[in-house]
Amino acid sequence: METTLRGVGVSHGVAIGEVRHMGTAVLEPPAKQIPTEDAEREQGRAHKAVEAVAADLIARGNLAGGEAQGVLEAQAMMAEDPELMADVERRIAVGSTAERAVYDAFAAYRALLAGAGEYLAGRVADLDDVRNRIVARLLGVPMPGVPDSDEPYVLIARDLAPADTALLDPTLVLGFVTEEGGPTSHSAILARALGVPAVVALPGAGELTEGTVIAVDGSTGEIFVEPSAEKKAQLEASAAQRKAALSASSGPGTTSDGHKVPLLANVGGPADVPAALEAGAEGVGLFRTEFLFLDDSKQAPSEEKQVEAYRQVLEAFPEGRVVVRVLDAGADKPLDFLTPADEPNPALGVRGLRSLLDHPDVLRTQLTALAKASQGLPVYLEVMAPMVADRTDARAFADACRAAGLQAKFGAMVEIPSAALRARSILQEVEFLSLGTNDLAQYTFAADRQVGAVSRLQDPWQPALLDLVALSAEAAKAEGKSCGVCGEAASDPLLACVLTGLGITSLSMGAASIPYVRATLAKYTMAQCERAAAAARAADTAEEARTAAQAVLSGE
C-alpha cells in the first residue's frame, strides 16, 4: 500500500528504486587489559591505522575534487589530531588495546563537541565516521559505508559522512535519504554537486525495509513507499518534462520579459570549473578559497601557490565575473595557525574576517596573490569578506584591499543579521553585497545548519529570512550597487524567482542547479516574481511562504 513520507528535499530530481541501507557502524571493541610490555606495539598499531585512514581520506578527496576534497582533507586532519593521538597513547599506556583506546578517546572528544554548542555538534557525524574507519582497520573488518550492489538502488542512512557522499557512483546510487542532516549540511551540498536526488531529515528513514521500492522527489522532499504504477508514471512524466525544459534552456539567466539575472557558480577550486562551464555559468559568484589552506593546518600556503590556484579559475572565465571570498576560517573550519583553540563557542567567536584582521599578514598575502593572479586578464574580479558585522569591518577590509594594490571591486558578505539591518551603512565602504543565506539563517534563528532537529529553522523560505534579504537588496538599490545571493537558497528554482522579485541582482549556486534555475526563471515575468516575493513575505511559516509563492506563479 502506497504511503507518503516527507523530509527536506535538498537535491533536485526523482529517483525510483529499491532500498539499500548504509553498512552498519563498527561494533564497540571489548574492554580488555593488555600487558604493559605490549603497550608500545599497540601504540604503533594505532599510529599506523590512523595514518592509513588519513591517507585514504586524502586519496578519496583527490579523486572527488572540488568541494568534496576540502571536506575530506579536513576529516583527515581530524583523524591525525595530535591531542586525540596523545589521549590514545595515554589510554594504551594504562592497559587498553589500540582499538579500545581509539574508541574511548574519540568518545571523549565526541562528548566535548556535542557539549560545545550546536555549531560544533554538527561535526559529530564526521568524527564518528573517522573513528569507525580507524577501529575497523584495527579490527580487520570491512569499512562501514556504501553497500555493494550490481543493481541501482536508493541509499538509506542515518547520516552520510563526506567520505561516503563524495565518491557515490550516480550510475548505481539513484538517490539517497537520511534521517539527519539539513539543507546546508555537507552531504546536501555534495549531493547537489553530484546531481543525485536527495532528501534529508526524514524521521524513521532507517525503518524502511531493505528491498522496498520507494520513489524519492528531491525537489519536494516527498518519499513515496511502494508507489503505485500511476504514481510512478506521474513522477517519471514530471521528471521527463523537467529534463526537456532543462535541455531547451540555455544562455544567460533572464525572466520571460527580459530582466537579466546573471546565474553564477559556487566553486571550491579549479576542479569545480569544468562542471560550472558545462552548466553555462556566467561566472563565479562564490569562489571558496579554503581548499588551499586545508593542506597544512600549521601554516598558510605560500603566495606563489595561491597565485597559481587563483589564476586557473580566473582564466576559465574570460570577461566573466569571478567573486572570490577571502579565507573563511574558524568554527567548523579551524586552522592551527589562525583560529583560537580554546573558544567556548567558535561559531560566535573569532571566525571569518575577524580571524584575518587578527592576522593581517595572512590577509595581505591572499590579497596580494589575487592581485598578481588577475594581472593581464580581462576577468571582472570581485573580492569579498566573510562575516562582516558592521561598517567598521567593511572599512577595515576595503583598506586592506587598497593597501595590497588590488584592482577589483570590494564587497561584504551578509551572513550576520546586523549586516542586513545596517546594509546601507556597510555599502558606504564597499561596492557590493553577497548574501550567504546558509549562515544568515543559522544566526537569525540560532539554529545550527548541520543539525537535522532544527532543519525547520534552516529553511530559506522562512519569512524572517526573506525580510532580511529584502532589506539588503533595497539598501543596495538605494545606493546604486549590486546585491547577490551565494547561499544554497539560490539553488531552489522557485525560491530563485522570489529572490529575484525581492531585488536580488545575481544568483550563485552549485553548478548542477543552474539549468533548473535558468529554466524556471525563463517562465515568469519580473512582475510575477515581485508578486510571488510579496506573497511569500506575507506568510507566517516557511511552508506557507512556499505555497503562497507557488500559487502566484501558477496563476491560482
3-state secondary structure of 156: strand
What separation in angstroms does the CA of 197 have from each of 14, 177, 309, 320, 552?
6, 9, 31, 30, 26
Cell of 172: 548505481
At which residue does the C-alpha cell 538599490 appear?
477
Cα(491)–Cα(168) distance, rounded to whole angstroms? Answer: 21
Cα(156)–Cα(19) distance, rounded to whole angstroms? Answer: 7
401 is catalytic: no
Please say whether the beta carbons of 458 and 445 come within 8 A.
yes
Q: Which of 401, 483, 486, 529 is catalytic?
A: 486
Cα(129)–Cα(159) distance, rounded to whole angstroms? Answer: 10
Cα(120)–Cα(411) distance, rounded to whole angstroms? Answer: 28
Please say whether the beta carbons of 166 and 143 come within 8 A.
no
Q: Name 275's Cβ contacts closer than 8 Å, sequence gap at least 6.
A: 66, 193, 265, 511, 512
Cα(329)–Cα(82) distance, rounded to whole angstroms? Answer: 20
Cell of 324: 572570490
Q: Backbone phi, then psi, for 395, in 5-degree steps? A: -65, -40
Q: How many CA atoms lie within 13 A of 10 on its CB side?
A: 35
Cα(298)–Cα(337) distance, rounded to whole angstroms? Answer: 5
Q: Which of 186, 483, 497, 529 is catalytic?
A: 186
497 is catalytic: no
The bridge status of strand 153-157 relative to strand 409-414 is unpaired
N residues, the chain: 556
Q: Which phi-psi region, left, alpha or beta, contains residue 263 (left: φ > 0; alpha: ψ -120 to 50)?
A: beta
β-strand partners of 376: none
Cell of 164: 561516503
Q: How far is CA 115 from the centre of its chain?
A: 23
> DSSP letter at 439?
H
Cα(137)–Cα(52) distance, rounded to whole angstroms? Answer: 9
Cα(180)–Cα(206) distance, rounded to whole angstroms? Answer: 10
What is the set of active-site residues?
A: 186, 486
